[in-house]
Amino acid sequence: MKKILAIASISLRTTLRSKVVLSLVVILLMVIIGLPLSIKSDATISGEVQILVIYTLGIVIAILSIATLWAGCAAISSEVAERQIHLVVSKPVTRFQILLGKWVGLVVLNAALLCVSGVAVYGLLRWNTRATQLTGDELRQLNEEILVARTRIGPQIPDVDVEARKMADDWMKAPNFPPNATRAEAIDEARKMILAKAFSVPPGATITWKFDLPTRLREDHPLHIRYKFASSRMEITTIPGTWIVGGPERRQTIIDRNDTSEGFHTIRVQDPVASPDGSLEISFRNTTEERPVAIYFPPQDGISLFVYTGGFEFNLLRTLLILLLHLSFLSAVGVVAGSLFSLPTAAFTALYLVVLLKFIPYIESMAARESFMSGPGQPGGQIFDVFLILFYRGMQLLVSPLKSPNPLDSLGIGENVPWSWVGSVFAVKVLLYGGAIALIGRLLFYRRELGLPS
Amino acid sequence: MKSFFQNALLVLLSVIFIAGSGQVQQGLLKQRAELTQGNVAPVENMPPWVAFVTVALGGFRGLIVDALWLRATRMQEDGRYFELVQLSDWMTKLEPRFPQIWEFHSWNLAWNVSVLFNDHEDRWRWVQHGMRMLRDEGLVYNPGSPELYWALGWIFQFKMGASLDDAHRFYKTSWAGEMAELFDGMAPDFDPYLAAPDTMEGLLEDSATQSLVASLTEAGISTLNLEAVTSSNATDRVRELLENDPAAPTLLVSLKRQKMKSVYKLDVERMMHVDDEYGPLDWRLPDAHAIYWAEQGKEHAEGFTALTLDRMTFQSLASAFRLGLAFFDIDGLLIPSPNLALYEHVRKAYLEALEEHGDNESMHTAFENFLNLAFNYHVGFNRVDRAREIFNEIKTRYPSARTNGGYNHFVATSFGEATRELNGQEVRAVAEGFIVQGLTWYARGDDDRYFGALMQAMAFYRDHRKEFNDEAHWKRVGLPEFNSLKYKAFHELLERVEHPVARQRLEELRIREGVPDKDPDQATRSTGM
């Protein structure tokens, strides 16, 4: 361990001497201070705060990602090119320790830069949202909806599998059932149809959802119901409705609303009374009797409950930790690439891998296809199909676990970034993939001849 | 030495190629101006980063725009609207000379995103985002794009001017409030505005103004602009200076003109030309602005685009005739009312269109409908001579059983049909016309006619309410309570009537009918002091 830390320390000192760190700090601070002056929000204070958090930290991460890849690639490759590595390998350290030492050095450097950036962004945020600058409503909205960590809870979704299977089987018996459709597809369609019906509200009708509240619910913080719906009218229109929060046997909060279809709306509920089993009933009554309109809440995101879980500061910390873990993964990619190739080749290889990660959704969509080239008039296409299907599915298997949502998107809208998320990113990006890359690096770096004439 | 000659040769070749590309560039620009509709020379005042990005990224700009567009779509679907302004800004700045991108994103913000909000203030903010994107940036980068003038005019004509959006009255009131800061009454008094300098440098050339500005600075005005001098927080000394200093009127008008130019991109000279051509327009209402931008677009348009801009002028003019005068009731609620002075302009525009598209049946139907509407308005407002003129024209052009029955028969049957055929705002205007007519008779001493006209107005109003028994409909079209119409009619007439006996009779009637006296603030806004 001492050897690894010694190498890490040497790497850090070299970096500091080369003024890379100083330059990065200056660039990052310029971004953090300058960006909010140039970005445009929707002219609300909440919009400004959200933009500031997401874009400022987003650009900081983009800069650090590029710098990390470059520094990682250069860490060993430049030493090999300048023959400095000869001095290091002649010491009693293994090549794997050299790799790890370089990686630790980069992680420490990133942690320090991220820390500086995080503190600067937080300071700027607090300065921009100081109480004297805002109205009471703005302050309340910020403290309740944005500068917090709230857990998003979806409603209990009814189990419709049995009904969906039965419906699908009935469809398959019908003469007009498409011959090329599978039972799985039919079940999927049936499930969607049943859920759509369950989330529809005809005029005068009431729909009730149940939400499982967390066990430690903070009573001094309100809940927020966020919802959107579509209506049976062609145009976007205002729909009257009544929201009832709480079951019939408990104290209920009743709210009359006029909301536009298609838009997202939020209702603030103070002190809701949950059922003894910890669930909360929320009902919506469609009161469009005069001009009847049916309403549909999309099951995926039609209605969610936002519950206070913690403060903004720890949410920011967890977000920064996830970002640091991502940078650590990039460091591993860079260091290993730099240990195998010359700097330009390593940089392009590492960059290719990073770009590949951005195309994971595309790879997944390709992997889901059953054919690429075969079909009427394409007799030879089947061989290519087999090759492409194997290629994309293999790629999917390889890169899909690395797909993860951007924690900044959650932080920006006051959504909780749980520790479990930090843990899963650590497990996947650092332990699993970082470990695999390290092992590959160890294997190949050991075999590399470092004393070749130039 | 060989290396020196090689380098020199390369430098020479570079110079030749750069000079050559400069020559080719001129030719390309010329061709672009000739071949691209409405395009003009490259914008000279692009911000450095926009100029850099457009040149440095080259063809890759399109890819970045695609990625941003995907994100913007996802954000919009997720209800995360706060990013849309910035994303739209980046997309347009990456392709600043591509009018369709400006047109799409401004339309998306002003039309699509705005209606997703319940609160009218929120909606107005998004309409303004779309409007500003076109007016403040899109047209700066594409000053020769008729599509962008059309898109901007479309926001004024339909988003704000028509009643398609539930919040249209809020838009109109907010816009009228902003315009009321720039000029008094329905339009600027063009001569003093044209005489006042439209730049700060020009304003400060005058020694009397310099002295006033120095006094204002001493009185606490650190930055000289319209907001600072008209702020409610301004000190008593500032107010005193603005009231008594002989240079103050010019200073105020100049500051207003500067704001019109810098913020609203309104050129007073151009406004005056538009007003001379089509007015008198009420510039507090959106129709006048739709015409203003359409007229600018026409300077760069040809073919179908020119036709659409023509239509915009024509339709906005017709709309301004129907409801093109702003009035504020005692609660500050905007009540647009007919602008009968525009009748000849609209008629002329229809006749010109008929000359061009005389074989189009729908044009004749539109003109007949307009004449019928104009007839109702003129009868309602007691403009009998003009009403007879219109009747004669209808009788000549579009004879029917109703016209054959003569003028009185036509009056009687017109209003029977009106409830079904007119929209809510038009019905309001007609009802208001009846009240004004009745009050005019009363002022002249004819009580019977007053009661007759008032009964007619009430019946007309009641029939419409019965026909559309829908609270949401009344709310959307902005049909006020009958008493609000009476309030408006009383005060409008009291401002016009000068005869002391007539005024006294009207005042007595107002008190007897329980119509409130005019709020001094509202009086300022509606009459323009």
Residues B372 and B481 in one domain: yes
Report the chain B residue with the minimal C-alpha distance to residue A264.
B79
Average pLDDT over residues A334-361: 88
Alpha helices in B279-334 (DSSP H): 286-298, 303-323
pLDDT of residue B71: 87
- Give the residue from B248, B266, B284 where a domain finishes: B266
Pairwise CA distance, residues B85 & B125, whole Å: 11
Residue type, A298: P
Report the chain B residue with the minimal C-alpha distance to residue A35.
B86
Residue type, B116: L
Phi, psi (degrees; rounded to nearest 5) at A205: -90, 165
Pairwise CA distance, residues A125 & A55, whole Å: 13
Average pLDDT over residues A202-212: 91
Cβ atoms of B221 and B229 closer than 8 Å: yes
Cα-to-chain-centroid distance, residue B27: 40
Residue B518 pLDDT greater than 70, yes or no: no
Which three-class secondary structure state does DSSP give residue A244? strand
Residue showing tokens 């039309």: B111
Which three-class secondary structure state does DSSP give residue B498? coil
Strand order through the sheet with A238-245: A206-212, A279-286, A238-245, A253-260
Residues B200 and B345 in one domain: no
Q: Is B86 on the interface with A (CB under 8 A)?
A: yes
Which candidate in B75, B89, B116, B121 is best for mutational testing of the A interface (most A CBs within 10 A)?
B116
CB contact under 8 A, A264 and B116: yes
Pairwise CA distance, residues B88 & B109, whole Å: 9
Which candidate in B82, B117, B132, B471 is best for mutational testing of the A interface (most A CBs within 10 A)?
B82
CB contact under 8 A, A413 and B80: yes
Question: In 3D, which of B354, B350, B365, B363 has the Cα closest to residue B398?
Answer: B365
Most confident of A290-299, B120-129, B308-317: B120-129
Cβ atoms of A231 and A294 closer than 8 Å: yes
Beta partners for residue A268, in sequence order: A224
pLDDT of residue A110: 92
Residues of A in contact with B129 (CB under 8 A): 42-43
Q: Is A54 on the interface with B (CB under 8 A)?
A: yes
**The model's pTM:** 0.78
Beta partners for residue B334, in sequence order: B328
DSSP type of residue B517: P
Q: Is A291 on the interface with B (CB under 8 A)?
A: yes
Residue A426 pLDDT greater than 80, yes or no: yes
Residues of A in contact with B85 (CB under 8 A): 40-43, 47
Average pLDDT over residues A308-335: 94
For residue B317, the distance in angstroms to the closest alpha carbon of chain A comes to 27
Strand order through the sheet with A230-231: A200-201, A295-296, A230-231
CB contact under 8 A, B116 and A263: yes
CB contact under 8 A, A238 and B79: no
CA atoms in the 13 A half-sphere facing the CB of A99: 24
Which candidate in A35, A37, A39, A40 is best for mutational testing of the B interface (most B CBs within 10 A)?
A40
User: Which pLDDT tens digit goes with each residue over A71-103?
Assistant: 888 888 888 887 777 777 778 888 888 889 989
For residue B137, the distance in angstroms to the closest alpha carbon of chain A comes to 14
Q: Is A78 on the interface with B (CB under 8 A)?
A: no
B490 inside domain: yes
Residue B35 pLDDT greater than 80, yes or no: no
Residue type, A81: A
Tokens representing A383 are 């061989």
pLDDT-derived band at B522 (thresholds 50, 70, 90) equals very low
Q: Is A258 on the interface with B (CB under 8 A)?
A: yes
Pairwise CA distance, residues A443 & A445, whole Å: 6
Cβ atoms of B234 and B216 closer than 8 Å: no
Closest partner residue to B82 among A50, A226, A238, by Cβ? A50
Residue type, A323: L
Strands A206-212 and A279-286: antiparallel
Average pLDDT over residues B213-228: 80
Residue showing tokens 């993964």: A329
Report the chain B residue with the minimal C-alpha distance to residue A263.
B116
Residue A118 pLDDT greater than 90, yes or no: yes
The phi-psi region of residue B382 (left if phi > 0; otherwise alpha if psi is between -120 and 50; otherwise beta) is: left
Cβ atoms of B184 and B230 closer than 8 Å: no
Residue B245 pLDDT greater than 90, yes or no: no
B140: enclosing H helix or E strand: helix B139-141
Among the CATH numbers 2.140.10.10, 2.60.120.260, 3.20.20.70, 3.40.50.1980, which is that of A200-298?
A: 2.60.120.260
Q: Is B116 on the interface with A (CB under 8 A)?
A: yes
Residues B358 and B502 in one domain: yes
Report the chain A residue with the minimal C-alpha distance to residue B111.
A236
Residues B240 and B381 in one domain: no
Angle, helices B447-467/B482-496, rounded to nearest 10 degrees:
140
Which candidate in B60, B70, B81, B86 is best for mutational testing of the A interface (most A CBs within 10 A)?
B86
Residues of B in contact with A355 (CB under 8 A): none
Average pLDDT over residues A349-366: 87
Pairwise CA distance, residues B411 & B380, whole Å: 10
Closest partner residue to B118 among A44, A265, A413, by Cβ? A265
Segments forming the whole domain that contains residue B192: 188-266
Residue B416 pLDDT greater than 70, yes or no: no
Question: Which residues have a Cβ under 8 Å from the Cβ of A224 and sit 6 or more positions away?
Answer: A144, A145, A150, A266, A267, A268, A269, A305, A306
Residues B245 and B346 in one domain: no
User: Which pLDDT tens digit goes with each residue over A148-168?
Assistant: 999 999 999 888 889 999 999
Residues 405 through 424 of chain A touching chain B, CB cutoff 8 Å: 413
Beta partners for residue A244, in sequence order: A254, A283
The residue ranges of every structural domain in chain A are 2-148+312-447, 158-198, 200-298
Bond into B280 cis (ω within 30): yes
For residue A151, the distance in angstroms to the closest alpha carbon of chain B comes to 17
CB contact under 8 A, B80 and A228: no
Pairwise CA distance, residues B158 & B330, whole Å: 27
Which three-class secondary structure state does DSSP give residue A104? helix
Question: In 3D, which of B221, B226, B217, B215 has the Cα closest to residue B251?
Answer: B226
Question: In 3D, which of B52, B237, B36 has the Cα closest to residue B146?
Answer: B36
Lowest mean pLDDT among A280-294, A335-349, B407-421: B407-421
Residue B332 pLDDT greater than 60, yes or no: yes
Residues B441 and B365 in one domain: yes
Pairwise CA distance, residues A349 & A345, whole Å: 6
Phi, psi (degrees; rounded to nearest 5) at B225: -155, 175
Pairwise CA distance, residues B431 & B454, whole Å: 9
Strands A279-286 and A200-201: unpaired
Residue type, A308: Y
Tokens representing B346 are 């609209």
Residues B356 and B208 in one domain: no
B278 inside domain: no
Tokens representing A437 are 């890359």
| B417-431 residues labelled b (16+ CB within 10 A) or e (exposed) | ebbeebbbbbbbbbb
pLDDT of residue B164: 83
DSSP type of residue B519: P
Closest partner residue to B79 among A46, A236, A264, by Cβ? A264
Closest partner residue to B83 among A51, A236, A264, by Cβ? A51
Report the chain A residue with the minimal C-alpha distance to residue B130.
A42
Pairwise CA distance, residues B297 & B275, whole Å: 16
- Top-confidence residue, A175 or A426: A426
Residue type, B486: K
Tokens representing B428 are 């309001």
Q: Is the dihedral angle over the CA atoms B212, B215, B221, B222 positive or is it negative?
A: positive
First and final CA of chain A: distance in angstroms?
A: 33
First and final CA of chain B: distance in angstroms?
A: 85
Pairwise CA distance, residues B63 & B199, whole Å: 41
∠ CA(B512), CA(B514), CA(B518), 5° rounding?
115
pLDDT of residue B475: 65
Contacts 24+ apart (CB under 8 A), A232-235: A232/A293, A232/A294, A232/A295, A232/A296, A233/A261, A233/A293
Lowest mean pLDDT among A306-315, A355-364, B444-453: B444-453
Residues B318 and B452 in one domain: yes
Strands A200-201 and A265-269: unpaired
Residue B192 pLDDT greater than 60, yes or no: yes
Closest partner residue to B85 among A40, A257, A290, by Cβ? A40
Report the chain B residue with the minimal C-alpha distance to residue A358.
B67
Cβ atoms of A325 and A429 closer than 8 Å: yes
Residue B49 pLDDT greater than 70, yes or no: no
If one counts the domains in chain B, the total is 3
Tokens representing B495 are 């401002």
Entry field: residues in chain B: 529
